[in-house]
Amino acid sequence: MPRYATVAPHLPVEELAVRYRQARDPVARSHWHLIWLVSQGHSGVAVARLTGYSETWVRTVIHRYNDLGAAGLTDRRRANPGQPPLVPLAVGEELRAVLAAPALDGGRWTGPKAATWLSERLDRVISPQRAWEPLQRIGFSLQQPRPRATAADPVAQAAFKKGAVEGCQCCSDGPSRGDRDRVGRG
pTM score > 0.75 for this model? no
Domain boundaries, the chain: 13-79, 89-137
Average pLDDT in the chain: 84
How many CB atoms sit inside 10 A of residue 118's CB? 25
Could you report the per-residue pLDDT of 2-22, keeping only the tens digit for each?
567 789 999 999 999 999 999
Closest alpha carbon to 61 in 83, 41, 39 = 39
Q: Coil, strand or helix: which one is 30?
A: helix
Could you report the per-residue pLDDT of 72-130, keeping only the tens digit for each?
998 888 888 888 888 888 998 999 999 988 888 888 888 899 999 999 999 999 999 98
Separation between Cα atoms, residue 114 and residue 168, nearest integer Å: 52
Could you report the per-residue pLDDT of 12-65, keeping only the tens digit for each?
999 999 999 999 999 999 999 999 999 999 999 999 999 999 999 999 999 999
* CATH number at 13-79: 1.10.10
